[in-house]
Chain A
């Protein structure tokens, strides 16, 4: 069934070779396994938002579990899904075996080692805090190396192909490879302090722009383009129908990869990012509708005349819903990028709902479809139970809806509550907690949706195990194809694009140029032109104690729930204070603007509450804020602050441009102790008894929290933290 020999087979003798199914099998197992793990972590995070008591230990608090979930589902579940699909389709589209079995094995085991490293370091609080790029620098290097191994293996396979022209799926694979390389390197430019800590080269608004140039395009080039490539192979194969339009493939491929790169700033609308960059992000996002829908149309219209098959075949069903979810998410995304819509949606659960239409609908369902397609074929058998797969289809569809719809309602509700004023000019819901309590029922429904979806995955794994058991697997699948014709030339009257389809190197260079344009056009002016970040004289570097406190904030992932970016809206300045300005963040390495407000913004938290309030709040948030869903951070009250790296941190930051005086690394510890003693004294004044208060982590965190946003405050300075 998989061996449809080229219809244009000439009379030349066929060459015998074998496809490597072992790598496909390995990646398939890995994607199913990590899917289960990653989604379970997601379910835990969802439940923690309803039952804070599920934050068992420091390692399992929401702030560390959430990055674990996102990394696991993106890089482990979808990542292995990409490799499964690429290793299966690439060999068959090029009529050749993967170039090197050794490279395939290094790729597989290396990638799993990276995932394992992530699963260990993230709960330990070893994190850069940059969303979807939380892993620290040694793992970043590992990712780069393994990614290059994958790239070499892929390109060498392309080089020894028996098919002259590259099919559209392979264009997408190539664009994916080159863009992820650029993004990963660009966003991981960081200076190591130790094996487990680094500071990014760029600070504040520049770091934020680069982060979202990366973050947005991680969605584009890790969750989208490789999966479009998979769709272009597996959907027509499963439907046994020709692809709807070759020309559409060409236009939407080039348009998509060119435009996507520009859209990153739509994650930073109404922030301190300069308006020109925000506008570019918005208009390019709107231009993305058509190129994205080109993919959906080419998928759905390929099924013209095959809808009767869709009714029967769970593989096609999964793919149809996947492609539809892709279309919905890529329409919603541009709409959310319209500034006035974003003013409502940003920081709320609307964004979370939107993302999960893409991930559960598009990535999840397409992965399931491909698994149901591949496993029976490489095991030379039929799927154990089509009925069960059909049940999985309905469960997954329902689970996706039960997940997303409550979050839409939650997002709209909370956003309206944030913005509601009374006629006498007060916030109707001045207490942030009221807006959280109002949406807790929606969080419960979301957890239910996630549970339903996860049950589907378990059914699938059972079904696949049964299929594997009844089948027979061979590492090598024999195949035959004519050798590559000697003359590489095209023929007269051929479509112009055929030229580049014969030239993988030109295709690689071409896509590299196309994806670099947008990134450079936005990042270069931000980094090079000083006017883009107006300086504020009052903004000073962090004191040593504040710096250590900030690193605790990063370690515990506070930025997962608290933004540090007040937008210029009345509803925000009334609630939080003066809107944030880019000049305030020039010493923020990394930026901690956040993207979601499960709790209130903290950019102007400094001086709002007494030191002892923070102490009590961290010990048990419910004692100061009844009904709060924030986890307790009581270990900070016990743990002693580790200052071993302080000198190295000061040195690293000075090297990156923070104006600490020469030699300050030696005095920093004295300043740190002095400030800690002041805070400890103020805590004792306020009735907190602890002999060794000065040495606790909590004191550093309080120092940082009391500093937040105070540099430009005009009102009298609060509390004792100022020198």
Chain B
């Protein structure tokens, strides 16, 4: 027992002591390396920059004191060292310096507008070449290889992945409500949630108080598509498209449909101002209780 514990205890620090770098994911390693590189480059250029500033300052001071000293020291003409980033910048832009501009002025003159003969900026050419090179690669990848998917293939994959994710999620939700197991919720919270949904989505067709309008009346005991909680749930879920009742399954989650179905049942027997005439078959809710109990 003791031996076993010791084993476990030593094993843990050992795993950690294999080094920080190994604990990182490949992506983090890459990031880490890049940060190091940037830091290194930054430090190096700061040193380089300060060095060139020192050199320039030295030359300036010497020249101020006595230009002759420069020759004595053996420095013919102190050209300030150009830092590397400036060199890169100059190479990438390739602009004619302002002071040499006159030599690069073309003999064009349009109402006083003249033109310089600057080269195409190399960085700009680079961008152009890259964008041109990308075109055939992209077209090949999408249309002539198996590497990339067409819009519709990508859609099929997206739907498949989503379906699996939803399935996996629903498997973790033990009590998913559907029309076979839905029950009437009598508590005030559920009914008030149901009312909120009803007011925003159902009242348009079924009336603010469930009195009916475009759709049927909920306050009488007549039902077109069944009056049990399961039937009502099913009607809400799948709709009755041929009569204009839209399916709500893509907008309401099952628990919400349960709440609104319960609220609808709670409306039965109320007396709104302008009730629509009853439609469908009468449904005896008191019988339901016995039925449910009897089936148990």
Contact = CB atoms under 8 A, between A and B. Distances in A.
Interface of A: 2, 4, 6-8, 89, 92-93, 95, 163, 165, 167, 232-233, 236-237, 240, 242-249, 251, 255, 270, 275-276, 278-280, 282-284, 286-287, 289-291, 293-294, 297, 301, 304-305, 339, 421-427, 430-431, 567-570, 573-575, 579, 607-613, 616, 623-624, 626, 686-687, 715-719
Interface string B222-258: 0000000000000000000111101001111110000
Interface string B48-65: 000000000000000000
Contact of B162 (A92, A232, A246, A425): A425
B166 A423 contact: yes
Contacts of A246: 106, 108, 115-117
Contact of B124 (A7, A278, A297, A607): A297
* Most A-side CB within 10 Å, residue of B110, B116, B134, B142: B110
Q: Which 10 A-B pairs have the closest CB atoms?
A: A610-B244, A4-B112, A430-B251, A290-B128, A425-B166, A568-B155, A283-B135, A245-B118, A242-B114, A167-B110
Interface string B181-217: 0000000000000000000110011000000011000
Interface string B146-174: 00001110110011001101100110010
Contact of A167 (B113, B162, B241): B113
Interface of B: 95, 98, 101, 105-121, 124-125, 127-128, 131-132, 134-135, 138-139, 142-143, 150-152, 154-155, 158-159, 162-163, 165-166, 169-170, 173, 200-201, 204-205, 213-214, 241-244, 246, 249-254
Contacts of B159: 570, 573
A291 B125 CA distance: 10
A304 B127 CA distance: 22
B198 to A, nearest CB: 13
A532 to B, nearest CB: 14
Nearest to A294: B124
B214 A297 contact: no
Nearest to B160: A570
Nearest to B156: A568
A284 B169 contact: no
B109 A6 contact: yes
A609 B244 contact: yes
A279 B143 contact: yes
Contact of A610 (B115, B150, B214): B214
A570 B162 contact: yes
A289 B127 contact: yes
A13 to B, nearest CB: 19
B36 to A, nearest CB: 30
Given A290-B128, A430-B251, 13 more contacts: A236-B114, A240-B112, A247-B117, A248-B118, A279-B142, A280-B139, A283-B138, A283-B139, A423-B166, A424-B254, A427-B251, A612-B244, A719-B242
A353 B225 CA distance: 49
A54 B142 CA distance: 48
Contact of B214 (A95, A255, A282, A686): A686
B118 A247 contact: yes
Given A6-B109, A287-B132, A569-B158, A422 B253 contact: yes
B62 to A, nearest CB: 31
Contacts of B113: 93, 167, 232-233, 236-237, 242-243
Contacts of A251: 120
A613 B244 CA distance: 9
B214 A247 contact: no
Contacts of A255: 128
B241 A715 contact: yes
Given A275-B150, A283-B139, A569-B158, A430 B132 contact: no
Contacts of A301: 95, 118
Nearest to B98: A305
Contacts of A294: 124
B155 A569 contact: yes
A428 to B, nearest CB: 10
A483 to B, nearest CB: 16
A422 B246 CA distance: 21
A718 B108 CA distance: 73
30 contacts: A89-B111, A93-B110, A93-B113, A165-B108, A232-B113, A236-B113, A236-B114, A242-B101, A242-B115, A246-B115, A246-B117, A247-B117, A247-B119, A247-B120, A248-B124, A270-B151, A287-B131, A290-B128, A290-B131, A294-B124, A305-B98, A305-B101, A424-B253, A426-B252, A568-B154, A573-B159, A616-B214, A718-B242, A718-B244, A719-B242
A457 to B, nearest CB: 29
A272 B204 CA distance: 35
Given A248-B120, A568-B154, A686-B214, A4 B111 contact: yes
Nearest to A170: B110
A6 B109 CA distance: 6
Contacts of A611: 244
Contacts of A424: 166, 169-170, 173, 253-254
Nearest to A272: B151
A275 to B, nearest CB: 5
B67 to A, nearest CB: 30
Contacts of A573: 155, 159
Contacts of B155: 568-570, 573, 579
A375 B127 CA distance: 39
Contact of B135 (A163, A287, A626): A287
A233 B165 CA distance: 60
Contacts of B251: 426-427, 430-431
Given A95-B111, A287-B131, A426 B213 contact: no
B143 A275 contact: yes
Given A275-B143, A283-B135, A626 B200 contact: yes
Contact of B204 (A89, A245, A623): A623
A613 B204 contact: yes
Contacts of B213: 687
Given A279-B142, A613-B214, A290 B116 contact: no
Contacts of A2: 111
